[in-house]
Structure 1
Amino acid sequence: MACAPSCQTEERGFWYGHPLQERAQTMVDVDGEYARLMGLGVSSVQEPETQPWGQRNFWIADPEGNYIEVGSFSAR
């Protein structure tokens, strides 16, 4: 699972206590996609942030509560 240590729990397969089945989408314009989705009323779980390893990502929830990661990877 690609997340900062602060979001990890002791139970594998869970993120902040939510069952996790990760669906990751890679985007070039992470911030633009976040703004677009927020304009459509999508539920934000985590705003865009840059991880120490260079990935910029955010998390949203679908109508059923499933978490979706959207991010990009830098060519470090």
Structure 2
Amino acid sequence: MEWDDGVYGAEAAARHHFKKPASALTRREAALLAVVLPNPRNWSPNPPGAYVARRAGVIEHRMAVVERDGLADCAR
């Protein structure tokens, strides 16, 4: 996935948009990157537009529920 000119992959996107490795992203930053996946060259995770920010909030909420309810344990 090309996130920007010459920016390929999630690790590169984290460093490009948030100046940190993917392993150090906050839940919000990870959600912002996920939201722009359908069209990362036209939508920006940083700064996000209104649509991206709103959708990131939905993803953040879902991640919190998965963590709270222990649903991620099945993927380990």
Give the structure with the higher percent strand: 1
Higher helix content, 1 or 2 = 2
The higher relative CO (CA closer than 8 Å, separation ≥ 6) is in 1
Fold shared per TM-score above 0.5: no
Higher radius of gyration, 1 or 2: 2
